Structure 1
Amino acid sequence: MQRYFLPDMPVDKLVTISGEDFHHISRVMRMEAGSRIYTVFPDGRTAIATITAIHEVSAEAEVTEWVEKSVELPADVVISCGLVKGDKFDYIIQKGTELGAAGFIPFEASRSVVKWDQKKGAKKTERWQKIAKEAAEQSHRTRIPAVSEPLSIAKVIESGKDFDIKLYAYEETAKAGDMSAFYEALHGLTAGKRVIVVSGPEGGLSDREAEQLTAGGFTACALGPRIMRAETAPLYVLSAISFYTELMR
């Protein structure tokens, strides 16, 4: 069944679907009255709904069954990644959403080849948010990760005050052979905690950025003995957290 995130709660078990979701239902999937869909509401609850009518610009559906199973990571994990070239950040958002990320905060790193264009910024952020929505639907998430506009490294560090665990992936830590920090962070991770992990762009984080992050309360960590690409590191982090919090327990 297709999954749709709706902006409003049902009224007497009835919902109205419009906009792009209606277009997908009527034009792409060619659904009719009697078709069943998953509907996800603003409070995160999921229900199976049966379409009762297809109109010219909207569809109506009735909630027939509430789904109680949760598929979200036990901890909120936000990925903050330096701006990367081409469509790599699209990939990070799409796959990171499938792996359970709670949000994404891109930042303008000193080694970022890409420079943020403020004039085109809003449109690009809107596109990123759409990618997150589509990936959340595909992976049967009950929430859509928030994607922010790119921040400065100082703003990323400032946002760390809202998190219980603050890490940054640092190539020099891996080269030094210290592999304990990431494991220790996961070992202390319990349900409901908030985690932010910072990773660099192509070329990694600069020494100055590492110093700023450390001064801001972030812990440097290695993600194994190999050096990963900018688009690989965030996905490794999410996969490891998923394994530790969902499969090992």
Structure 2
Amino acid sequence: MQKFLIGKEALTADKVVIHGQDAKHICKVLRLKPKDAVSMTDGHGTDFTGCIEKISPDLVEISIVSEKKSLTESPLDLTLCTAMLKHNKMDEIIKQITQLGVTRWIPFYCKRSIPLSDKKKEGKQIERWQTIARESLKQCRRSCLVEIMPAMDFEQVLAFSKECSHKIAFWEASDRPLAPPDTQGSHSAVVLIGPEGGFEEEEIRLAVESGFVSYSLGPRILRAETAAVCACGLVQYLLGDMGGC
């Protein structure tokens, strides 16, 4: 059963009203009818099961049958920070990391980033990425939206990461394989992925001074978007809910 994302404005004490494209999808594509069941989430970790009372392409009215905390969210508060890439590549990263249970995503600029910073375009880019995250959430049946944060520079990312217990920077020049941490600590982690040209040594030095440890993703050179997805899967395996320690 597909899961639908509902906003606070759609939710009352015992009913949900869905408008727009989702209403049209429920009516015309899924061809649901009154008394059919619908799965929903508020995007903040609460799931709802409902029963359709009224349905049209413009409006679907659903009575809430049950409400519960989601069982699909990772216990790991995982932040992925990826250096800016050409934007179709960033789109793909968001789709994949939503499926992997990432909590928040921070795009950032570093010395080898392409494209360079463009404040005029960033607002529209954020809106686009938030839309992609919402659509991916429905597909993978998560219950918490990935938090898409405004673009930062490298120093801001290091400052943001200050309180995280596990700070991981993947760098092609590192020879240290990723391994389970000696201590679990508080359940938060931040992962740094560089641009297509990789981090410069000075950037890794600054990251290490800020508490990061640099790790390798193996002997092959990965595309930046591949590295981002691979890194999230590995970290969720070791620290999250994908079957590790």
Runs of 5+ unmatched residues, structure 1: none
The root-mean-square deviation of aligned C-alpha atoms, in Å, is 2.2
Match of 2:176 in 1: 178
Match of 1:208 in 2: 202
Runs of 5+ unmatched residues, structure 2: none
For residue 22 of structure 1, report the CA deviation from its aligned partner. Answer: 2.7
- Say whether 1:155 aligns with 2:151: no
Change beyond 3 A, Cα 1:55–1:92? same
Match of 1:127 in 2: 128
The 2-side partners of 1:196 and 1:211 are apart by 17
**What is the TM-score when the length of structure 1 is the normalising length?**
0.87
Match of 2:168 in 1: 167
Match of 1:3 in 2: 3
Report Cα offsets for 1:129-155 as digits up to 9, x if no partner.
111111111001011101122110011
* SS of residue paired to 2:65: strand
The 1-side partners of 2:128 and 2:43 are apart by 21
Report Cα offsets for 1:64-91 as digits up to 9, x if no partner.
2345561112201111000112411111
Trace 1:1-249 onto structure 2 (pairs within 5 A): 1-8=1-8, 10-41=11-42, 43-54=44-55, 57-66=58-67, 70-173=71-174, 177-179=175-177, 182-185=178-181, 188-189=183-184, 193-244=187-238, 245-246=240-241, 247-248=243-244
For 2:244, the aligned partner's letter is M
For 2:222, the aligned partner's letter is M
The 2-side partners of 1:116 and 1:57 are apart by 40
**What is the TM-score when the length of structure 2 is the normalising length?**
0.89
The 2-side partners of 1:111 and 1:200 are apart by 8
Change beyond 3 A, Cα 1:243–1:214? closer
The 2-side partners of 1:77 and 1:37 are apart by 29
The 1-side partners of 2:69 and 2:176 are apart by 42
Change beyond 3 A, Cα 1:86–1:16? closer
Deviates further, 91-100 or 110-119: 110-119
Q: 2:45–2:70: 8 Å Cα contact kept in structure 1? A: no
For residue 159 of structure 1, report the CA deviation from its aligned partner. Answer: 0.4
For residue 36 of structure 1, report the CA deviation from its aligned partner. Answer: 2.1
The 1-side partners of 2:57 and 2:193 are apart by 47
The 2-side partners of 1:230 and 1:195 are apart by 19
The 2-side partners of 1:52 and 1:98 are apart by 31
The 2-side partners of 1:117 and 1:24 are apart by 36
